[in-house]
Amino acid sequence: MFIIDVTLKNTPVTLSVQRKLEEDAKALYQQVLEAIRSGSPTTLELTCEQQTGKTVAVLVSEISAVQVSEKSGAGTSSGRPPGFFSLTAPTE
């Protein structure tokens, strides 16, 4: 199972959907990237293959990052799900 995580600007929540096949996960990743690059469509609707009925619509202009990862059965050693790491410069 492959997980596609979408991170939104100014939001600590990561939206995730899953694909059974690596090719499908990569295709969705490319679809999200293309939507970000073109700015069109203004919304992007994502569905999940693991949880049937799970659908999320996202404003493309609010997407800050997208990631594909393979779901492992063992979990992570740190106890946290895989995700994004961000650093910000201190403001004065």
Of 35 and 81, the structure prediction assigns the larger pLDDT to 35
90 is a domain residue: no
Q: What percent of the chain has pLDDT over 70?
A: 76
Question: For all residues of the chain together, what is the average pLDDT?
Answer: 82
Read off the CATH number of the domain in which 14 is found.
Answer: 2.30.30
Q: What is the value of pTM for the model shown?
A: 0.72
Residue 10 pLDDT > 50: yes
92 is a domain residue: no
Backbone region of residue 30 per phi and psi (left: phi > 0; alpha: psi in -120 to 50; beta: other values): alpha
Provide the 3-class DSSP secondary structure of residue 17: strand
CA distance 24 to 57: 18
Please, which pLDDT band fits residue 81 given cuts at 50, 70 and 90? low
86 is a domain residue: no
Print the domain residue range for 56. Answer: 2-70
- The answer, yes or no, to whether the previous bond of 90 is cis (omega within 30 of 0) is no
- What is the count of structural domains for the chain? 1
